[in-house]
């Protein structure tokens, strides 16, 4: 083969090689560009997510602070309710002396004659020793309380609570 034919053949192969190389470079460049675009989108997404996480952390801190404040308020209210219940129970227990309900206080007729309760003989007054007095809220502390009726028109029953008040 002569030298001219070898040169032409080499130039032809060089052009084919360059065309193939250019095609491969374009493909590589397009893949690099696509990868860069994807990485750019991921970076933007991460930045957005990071900002969201930061905002959520701040919101969680704020909500925890509010929660602790409200829990403190609730605890304070529980203490106040317990104290109020204690005071209410105290008032109910000690105001029973002033709130007495007398059962079976039917009036004796004006013609009835009986011995006075001051004489100590209650047997002549019908039902005198069995009448009971109850507190307005119940009979828990006054179960042994009895009413002794005075005899006569317009007389007031005498209440004995068993306490030395």
For the four alpha carbons of 116, 117, 123 and 126, in that order, the dihedral sign comes to: positive
Encode pLDDT of 7-62 as tens digits. 999 999 999 999 999 999 999 999 999 999 999 999 999 999 999 999 999 999 99
Encode pLDDT of 86-135 as tens digits. 999 888 877 766 666 667 766 665 665 554 555 455 544 454 444 444 44
Which among 121, 112, 98 has a CA at the least distance from the CA of 155?
Answer: 112
Q: Are residues 7 and 78 in the same domain?
A: yes
**Last residue of some domain: 44, 65, 94?**
94
**Last residue of some domain: 94, 113, 138?**
94
What does each C-alpha distance from 132 to 76, 85, 103, 135, 139 come to in angstroms?
43, 29, 6, 10, 9
Total domains in the chain come to 2
Residue 79 is part of which domain span?
1-94
pLDDT computed for residue 135 by the predictor: 46
**Last residue of some domain: 94, 122, 142?**
94
**DSSP-based three-state secondary structure for 146:** strand
Q: Are residues 8 and 82 in the same domain?
A: yes
């Amino acid at each position: 083969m002569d030298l001219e034919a070898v040169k032409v053949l080499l130039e032809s192969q060089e052009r084919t090689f360059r065309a193939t190389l250019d095609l491969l470079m374009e493909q590589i460049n397009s893949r690099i560009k696509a990868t860069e675009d994807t990485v750019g989108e991921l970076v933007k997404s991460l930045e957005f997510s990071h900002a969201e996480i930061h905002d959520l952390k701040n919101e969680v801190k704020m909500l925890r602070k509010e929660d602790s404040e409200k829990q403190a308020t609730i605890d304070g209210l529980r203490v106040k309710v317990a104290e109020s219940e204690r005071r209410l129970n105290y008032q109910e227990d000690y105001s029973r002396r002033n709130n007495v309900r007398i059962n079976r206080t039917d009036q004796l007729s004006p013609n009835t004659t009986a011995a006075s309760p001051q004489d100590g003989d209650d047997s002549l007054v019908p039902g005198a020793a069995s009448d009971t007095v109850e507190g307005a809220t119940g009979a828990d502390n006054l179960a042994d309380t009895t009413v002794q009726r005075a005899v006569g028109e317009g007389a007031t029953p005498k209440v004995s609570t068993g306490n030395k008040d």
